[in-house]
Amino acid sequence: MVVFSILGTFIVAKRYYAVKERNKMKIIKASDYEQLSEKAAKITIELVKEKPDAVLGLATGGTPVLTYKLLVDYHRKLHMSFRDVKTINLDEYIGLPEDHPQSYHYFMYNKLFNHIDIRPENIHIPRGNARNLAEECIRYDEILEILHPIDLQLLGIGSNGHIGFNEPGTPFSKKTYITKLSTSTRKANERFFQEEETVPEYAITMGIASILKSKKILLLASGKSKAEAVKQLVLGEMDEQFPASALKQHDNVTILADNQALEELQKVKRI
Ligand code: PGA
């Protein structure tokens, strides 16, 4: 019995050690979605104060909504200026007009850009309704090169591990490209669309290679539906079937997650 428990402790300790050795990602805990958003907004604001012409890589989806609202509050109430900030978004659906309420153009203007003093020419979002999508991918990569490096890239994470719209199986070497959305991603995003609408099948997304060129990456995860993905991100191996695992190659990644999103990880790892 004693032998087994000593052996067990050794195996567990060794596994923790191995994880610590391999994993440079920093984890910031938040009690809930509100606190997570406050911390994300604060990290962004501190960067912009220090570097008023910072390049921000921005994400869409449910997770950053409150973060953007708080940035708007900083602008309105504390006169924080975003005048010289440059932004570059991760992705956009193919085939939705820019004024469609579910397009990521609409989302970004509605949640953030219309309410701060950023200059329109400093805003970059891939055009999912470009006539020539291959050319649009090239244009976006050129913008990325001009803006390089992104000072802070905000990311969400899909429950299947996607970052941007880089779905499982995407080579980590990809730059901007047209991707077919997985069934689980389309299902997860149905909640944003009207009943009679269908979630687009394709999207244009910044590739993983471009994401990895960012100076700092801040991945936001909130809620139980992200708990397995967060656990896999922290404890799993690098694997193209789990796109977020590419972040293990980067030396400045922070996972900012709330208690619910950390639930599964905390069952097996003290953080
Ligand atoms: P969510 O999406 O913020 O709506 O959960 C994140 C993502 O799919 O990247």
pLDDT surpasses 90 at 10: no
How much is the average pLDDT of 78-106?
Answer: 97
Report the run of H or E that residue 155 belongs to, with start and end.
Answer: strand 152-155
Using a 6 Å CB cutoff, which residues line ligand 1? Answer: 61-63, 156-158, 162
pTM for the model: 0.91
Among 160, 258, 259, 264, the active-site one is 160
Say what the pLDDT of residue 24 is: 80
For atom 2 of ligand 1, the residue with the nearest CA is 61
Q: What is the CA radius of gyration of the chain?
A: 19
- How many percent of the chain have pLDDT more than 70? 92
**Tokens 């923790």 label which residue?**
16
Residue 189 bears catalytic tag: no
Please, which pLDDT band fits residue 2 given cuts at 50, 70 and 90?
Answer: very low
pLDDT at 1 over 90: no
Atom of ligand 1 nearest to the CA of 64: 3
Q: Separation of 221 CA from ligand 1 center, angstroms?
A: 8
Q: How confident is the model at residue 20 (pLDDT cuts 50, 70, 90)?
A: very low
Per residue in 153-203, pLDDT tens? 999 999 999 999 999 999 999 999 999 999 999 999 999 999 999 999 999
pLDDT of residue 58: 99
Would residue 162 show up in a list of annotated catalytic residues for this protein?
A: yes
Q: Are 208 and 137 in contact (CB under 8 A)?
A: no
- Shortest CA distance to 89 belongs to which of 117, 134, 122? 122
CA of 185 to the centre of ligand 1 (A): 9
Q: Say how many Å lie between the CA of residue 257 and the centre of ligand 1.
A: 13
The mean per-residue pLDDT over the stretch 227-253 comes to: 97
Q: Is 167 a catalytic residue?
A: yes
Give the per-residue pLDDT at 23.
Answer: 55
* Structure confidence at residue 93 (pLDDT): 98
Tokens of 191: 């909640």
Tens of pLDDT, residues 107-140: 999 999 999 999 999 999 999 999 999 999 999 9
